Amino acid sequence: MQQQIVLNNGGSFPALGFGTCAIGAWQQDNEYVVDTILKAIKAGYRHIDTASLYGNERSVGKAIKASGIPRKEFFVVSKVWDCDQGYEETLKAFDASLKRLDMDYIDLFLIHWPNPNKTQSTWQAMESLHQQGKVRYLGLSNFRQADIEQLMSFAKVKPIYNQLELHPYLTQEDLCAVCDKYEIYVSCWSPLGSGTWSGVPTSEKPIADPVVINMAEKYGVSSGQVILKWDLQQGRIAIPKAESEKNIKANLELNSFELSTEEIKEINQLNRDHRYGGDPDTAYEGNMKMRVPE
């Protein structure tokens, strides 16, 4: 049985999700993407994370349909992109995502990056979608402390989670504490440091850190499995991406070992405040130049 996140209303979803950003290549949306997601579903993933900007919502929808598994067994996450924030814009963007996914509802809809000038109108649109039953849960991505506090001052429907770049070299402990204060789960994108798309050599990623490697050798598992276990044992959600059948399966196989409190602290101490992805303080201008494909 996969570890579950249990919400206040009694709902639950798997703590380990399958990340779909840049499967094959950036904004690739074809049979290769469908087949990769089908491999993940066959391995046991039911929590699938996508976004309008990833350009592969159609592939996600096709894979879920092709699996033959009832839609209600999946927890599907998508996101509204920066260019589509605002009340009417968000409603329109959501309808486009739903159409591409070929679904009746989305389980969790996120604001992809914070834009404080539009957060209230965007969130109100999302609350309307929630009220209509088109979205089961609402959430955030890349929100900083000030962004969270702003949203919590007017939100009628509370966010269930905040998806952050989080890995052993960027532990974001202060921000995690803010999320805990507001009972917002922390979800980790790029939990292993960054994908092959980033061009970062494996030797510079946390999976190559001697501390992590030593623990992996001790437990007879991979470095990636150690890092995912580090997340799950702290009550976080992790969204690893993988394309090979071997790695897809390995990321799910975390029940054979348990990290000690000391080992979790050891990994926490690897923090370098190092980002592989965008910084919410500076990402806005560049993000506004990126467009959601039709």
| Residues facing 162 on adjacent strands | 140, 186
202 alpha carbon, distance to own chain's centre:
21
CA dihedral 241, 247, 248, 253 (to 10 degrees): -120
DSSP 236-261: -EEE----SHHHHHHTT--TT----H
264 CA to centre of own chain: 21
User: For this structure, is 87 an active site residue?
Assistant: no
Residue 274 labeled ligand binder: no
Question: CA-to-CA distance for 284 and 82, rounded, in angstroms?
Answer: 8
List the catalytic residue out of 45, 54, 137, 169: 54
Task: Find, among 80, 70, 134, the residue nearest to 107 by Cα.
Answer: 134
**Sequence ranges of the binding site:** 112
**Sequence ranges of the binding site for substrate:** 112
Catalytic residues: 54
